[in-house]
Amino acid sequence: MSNDERPEFRALEELREVLGALATELATWRRRALKAEAGQAQLGLSQDLVADRERSKSLEAENTELEQRLGAARTRVEELLGRLRFLEEQVATEEQGR
């Protein structure tokens, strides 16, 4: 009986083939898992970027509103200063008339 014909050698050869197929499949699954993890990480980053953009737009809108309010407040202060100057002039005129 030759080595190729012995049952234990045939079983070992079959086992080697099965293990080779398993190793190949395991490598395939590993590549897929790594690719999926990278995609998930990129998706997480994309979601963060979207959230950052939305927050940025919100802050820009808030900034525009605050600038408008600040402009209105400046106008009001200038009006009040004008009235104050007028009143000061009235008081100075009355004091000179006495």
Per-residue pLDDT tens digits of the chain, which is 98 residues long: 555 578 888 888 899 999 999 999 999 999 999 998 888 887 777 777 888 889 999 999 999 999 999 999 999 999 999 999 999 999 899 889 87
Alpha helices for 1-98 (secondary structure H): 7-97
Question: What global pTM score does this model have?
Answer: 0.48
Instruction: Kindly tell me the burial class for residue 4, based on how many C-beta atoms sit within 10 Å of its own C-beta (0-12, 13-18, 19 or more).
Output: exposed
First to last CA, the chain: 142
